[in-house]
């Protein structure tokens, strides 16, 4: 690439029919000034392009890092979500099992209570039956004994023709024989 210095130092051969040397020099000076400005701008643009390219590369690396981080974060979030769902399912399953065990235990206890209640009711029924039988037997004994006493009393009354009470007999003895009373007391 031609530099502004190359243009400035360029010398042309002189010929008989050549161009006006001062016009050529003035034009070359103008071309050199414009070219120098364009050359500087080009160099600045190249430097800027290089800086921008480095910045773009840096941003691309950051973008790639962010993408990787995002993928890792999404993967971690999905794994956490999956683990949380599994744990929640496990907790629900355990709670359902415990609830079933509690219900089964309550049913067993209820059945035991019902069985005990049935047993108590049966024992009450047996007791009532036995007590009723006992009362009927006692009543029959009382009726029978009363009938016997009544029969004995009738027999005794027919023999003595008078009914006396035992107290009457004691009072009669006490009133008639005072010495007998003392001997009974001793």
Residue 131 pLDDT? 92
Residue 13 pLDDT? 73
| Nearest of 77, 6, 69 to residue 35 by alpha carbon | 6
Q: Which tens digit of pLDDT belongs to each residue from 45-65?
A: 999 999 999 999 999 999 999
Residues of the chain with pLDDT under 70: 1, 160-186
Residue 1 pLDDT? 66
Residue 85 pLDDT? 95
Residue 25 pLDDT? 79
Residue 95 pLDDT? 96
The structure tokens listed for 182 are 């003392």
- Determine contact, residues 11/28, Cβ cutoff 8 Å: no
């Amino acid at each position: 690439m031609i530099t502004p210095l190359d243009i400035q130092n360029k010398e042309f051969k002189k010929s008989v029919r050549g161009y006006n040397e001062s016009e050529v020099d003035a034009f070359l000076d103008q071309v050199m000034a414009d070219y120098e400005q364009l050359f500087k701008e080009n160099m600045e643009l190249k430097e800027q392009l290089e800086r921008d390219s480095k910045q773009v590369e840096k941003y691309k690396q950051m973008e790639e890092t962010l993408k990787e981080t995002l993928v890792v974060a999404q993967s971690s979030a999905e794994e956490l979500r999956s683990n949380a769902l599994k744990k929640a399912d496990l907790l629900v399953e355990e709670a359902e099992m415990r609830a079933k065990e509690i219900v089964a235990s309550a049913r067993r206890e209820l059945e035991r209570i019902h069985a005990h209640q049935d047993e108590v009711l049966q024992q009450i029924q047996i007791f009532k039956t036995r007590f009723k039988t006992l009362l009927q037997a006692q009543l029959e004994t009382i009726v029978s004994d009363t009938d016997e006493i009544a029969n004995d009393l009738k027999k005794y009354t027919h023999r003595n023709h008078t009914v006396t009470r035992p107290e009457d007999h004691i009072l009669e003895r006490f009133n008639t024989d005072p010495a007998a009373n003392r001997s009974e007391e001793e």
